[in-house]
Amino acid sequence: MKRDFLNISDLTREEIYKIIEYAIDLKKDKFKDQSLKGKSIGLIFMKQSTRTRVSFEVGIYQMGGQPLYISGITTQLSRNEDIKDTARVLSRYLDGIVIRTYSHNEVEELAKYGSIPVINALTDYLHPCQVLADLQTIYERFGKIEGLKLAYIGDGNNMANTWLIAGGLMGLNITVATPEGYEPNGKAVKEALDLAKNTGANIEIINDPEEAVKDADILYTDVWVSMGQEDTEDRKKAFKNFRIDKSLVKKASNNAIVMHCLPAHKGEEITEEVFEEFADVIFEEAENRLHSQKALMSFLFNSLV
């Protein structure tokens, strides 16, 4: 039976740890896994990308497969062809689909009607591939995930939604601090709280960044304006006190790290000073997109992990 990866909770906690451990192995030997030899993986991109596109293309190549980049505007999807028809056609050509788009419902429909694995490479609701790489980074830095505290500061966007769910699943305490009116999606909050009943994770949504970072091991942020959103002065005013700067970092745990999913708008959600201080973590996090996604593809397309 095929497996899809649309949400971080499509994997169990045990499967995530297994994928992370395998990703660390692949980091040491980039050509170790050749399980995609003879396979073609379609990369459907309706949104612009740097890290997601390059990491998937390179990863598929390193695993012996053929990455096929498909720009959304060049397909019949741009002329309103049914998602379910596209899914049934591509399933006859490809061995897997990676899609980066706006609507999460479209990705769910693609997975429903496709007979091959589908990976969500970002929607407006969730960004599970990024968080999978972030979990690897945290595990490498701390030697554990469960019991740590991550403070997410900024917009309650797809990253905040995914972190909440990941926290509930992995036993990672999550506090999200956003301006009033910019809180995460209620559906994601509910899923996180339901998952936390089994792991004991503490899940909080507040509006005070200084309160959020108390005792935090990880400070995390993202841009204030995501793709497809309007960059307005009202939004910038709302977020002006939700910037990770040196004074906010000092209020966290002594050995806290700062993470950013990139691209960064330095001077907005994070200062240049803090970004450069934690650049080694941030770019390790970016590199781990490659390794964790290779381990994920090996798991989904071949069940070899």
The DSSP element (H or E) to which 124 belongs, if any, is: none
Which one from 51, 53, 127, 243 is the annotated catalytic residue? 127
DSSP-derived pairing of the beta strands 218-221 and 149-153: parallel
Contact of 73 with 79, CB cutoff 8 Å: no
78 CB-contact burial (10 Å; exposed 0-12 / middle 13-18 / buried 19+):
exposed
Which one from 51, 53, 100, 260 is the annotated catalytic residue? 100
Our answer to whether residue 155 is catalytic in this structure is no
Our answer to whether residue 222 is catalytic in this structure is yes
Our answer to whether residue 127 is catalytic in this structure is yes
| Distance, CA of 205 to CA of 175 (rounded, Å) | 6
Nearest to 54 by CA among 129, 128, 4, 158: 129
Our answer to whether residue 208 is catalytic in this structure is no
Which one from 51, 53, 260, 289 is the annotated catalytic residue? 289
Which one from 51, 129, 261, 291 is the annotated catalytic residue? 261
Which one from 222, 243, 291, 293 is the annotated catalytic residue? 222
| Distance, CA of 158 to CA of 123 (rounded, Å) | 7
Cβ atoms within 10 Å of 114's Cβ, excluding its own = 23
Q: Report the sign of the C-alpha dihedral through residues 46, 60, 66, 39, in that order.
A: negative
Our answer to whether residue 88 is catalytic in this structure is no
Nearest to 113 by CA among 39, 4, 12: 4
| Distance, CA of 178 to CA of 183 (rounded, Å) | 6
Which one from 62, 104, 129, 130 is the annotated catalytic residue? 130
Measure the CA dihedral 224/227/232/233, to 10°: 30
Cβ atoms within 10 Å of 198's Cβ, excluding its own = 11
Give catalytic residue positions.
100, 127, 130, 222, 261, 289
